[in-house]
Structure 1
């Protein structure tokens, strides 16, 4: 798994690497544009939505939301990623911090219409996901929603099939989403599949 220095080194070539994988319809970024596009359309259903992006990277999605009037907050642990995103979104509220340890204090007292994570939250173990997602739901305003776009599968069998097909390209350091298993903790969870290895997970604030 990359640490913050690893992501600093990868930052400048990240968008290109994603594009190559997405265009080839290959794991892990097959369906990437559809995932981000689906989240974008959902968030724009609320005018000037207040959005927290966890692990926003270079700001690919949040920049589009920012340009369409959303109030953007974010946390990422790569200083270089933050630098690149800040250049696109000078008035966004972006903070450095490892989300595995939780939200930085500046964000933990805020409420949001949406909390999103795209291709970032697979760094958490299954147990860490459950705890962190429960905490993030508490950061939502009434009627708010947690939305996750990532490598995700309906069942463990689907994940294992993709792993077998990916062969040496499979990243054993990542803990991808299995919807059936996550729904045991979050029964209101919904899942919109976007490719054979990706989709959008949504959890409404109780």
Structure 2
């Protein structure tokens, strides 16, 4: 891997080691023990969960082998294990492994979560092993040359009828994107504040790269015969201007359910995030007969 890719991985490792070193595992235990309530709330009001679990995924996971790339706080890995999946969770940060260790100690899953620490490209897993490869806000942490290697490896690991699902930010409108950078949010200053914004950029673990739907479509088509991209968040994004509470949650649920009524070309242009589904790995691109 190139020096720049190595630097990017190390920057991400240090950032997330610190972010998750004191993550409250009690939250995960509570959500798993109250799984139906958690799913009802998350799958209807949270864009990432709403998107990633499209197509009734929660009822398709039982008994399936699933690899999660960049498991982070391990909430999704734990929920999938609670739904009966045999979960392998990968992250470059060892703090994620500590979370999984504690979760496995507290919860009796049919299949205890297996943690794979370190560089995903050195996983040593068997080809055609997984029904699903999942990434919840993961690919955008990679530089594009690095992403290409990860997608190739994803295709290798999937079964013939396997499926990769990624929830990622979407930037299909540069004007909207530029406006976004100028609106301050918690943890990120406005671009108008040049000094503070520059300092934030230096520690932000996300490389500057394309997040467009066109990019993810083209990137996927190299290794997969089927690519589907679903815009998510065109209307839901306005919830950020609302105060926390039941009205906000009700609006988010309404927005996520009604976005699909917007013509696709408009929805795609205005969306803030996307579900990316890759199927039918191209064996000829993987050196597989």
Q: Is the TM value for this pair above 0.5?
A: yes
Could you report, residue by residue, the CA deviation over 1:12-32 in whole angstroms, capped at 9, with x for unpaired residues?
36999xxxxxxxxxxxxxx99
Equivalent positions of 1:69-148 (< 5 A) are: 69-89=84-104, 91-99=112-120, 102-105=121-124, 107-109=125-127, 111-148=129-166
Does 1:34 find its partner at 2:50? no
Q: CA deviation at 1:115?
A: 0.4
> d(CA) in 1 for partners of 2:75 and 2:116?
16
Deviations 1:30-89 (A, max 9, x none): x99232243233253253211000110111111111001000001101111221133224
Q: 1:97 and 1:123 mapped to 2: Cα distance? A: 15
Bigger proportion of residues as helix? 2
- Most deviating of 140-149 and 86-95: 86-95
1:91-144 per-residue CA deviation (whole Å, 9 max, x = no partner) reads 211011033xx1422x35561000011112212122322232122111101211
Distance 2:136 2:69 in 1: 8
Q: Does 1:4 align with 2:13?
A: yes
Aligned partners of 1:43 and 1:114 also within 8 Å: no
Unaligned runs of 5+ in 2: 1-7, 28-43, 106-111, 192-200, 234-270, 282-289
Instruction: In structure 1, list runs of 5 or more residues that go unmatched.
Output: 17-30
* Residue 149 of structure 1: how far off its partner (Å): 0.8
User: What is the TM-score of this pair, normalised by structure 2?
Assistant: 0.56
Query: 1:150, CA displacement in angstroms?
Result: 1.7
Aligned to 1:189, what secondary structure does the other structure show?
strand
Cα 1:129/1:46, change in 2 over 3 Å = same
The number of residues matched between the two structures is 186
**CA spacing shift, 1:162–1:177, aligned 2, 3 Å:** same
142-151 or 163-172: which moved more? 163-172
The separation in 2 between residues aligned to 1:177 and 1:56, in whole angstroms, is 20
* Greater per-residue strand proportion: 1
Q: Does 1:186 align with 2:220?
A: yes
State how 1:44-63 maps to structure 2 within 5 Å.
Answer: 44-63=59-78
Structure exhibiting the larger radius of gyration computed from Cα positions: 2
- Cα deviation for residue 205 of structure 1 reads 2.3
Q: How much is the aligned-residue C-alpha RMSD, in angstroms?
A: 2.9
Q: CA deviation at 1:146?
A: 0.9
Q: Give, in whole Å, the separation in 1 of the partners of 2:151 and 2:58.
A: 18
- In 2, the alpha carbon distance for the partners of 1:32 and 1:79 equals 30
Given the two structures, how large is their TM-score scaled by the length of structure 1?
0.76
- Cα distance 1:199–1:182, how it changes in 2: closer, same or farther (>3 A)? closer
Contact map agreement 1:54 1:120 (CA 8 A) in 2: yes
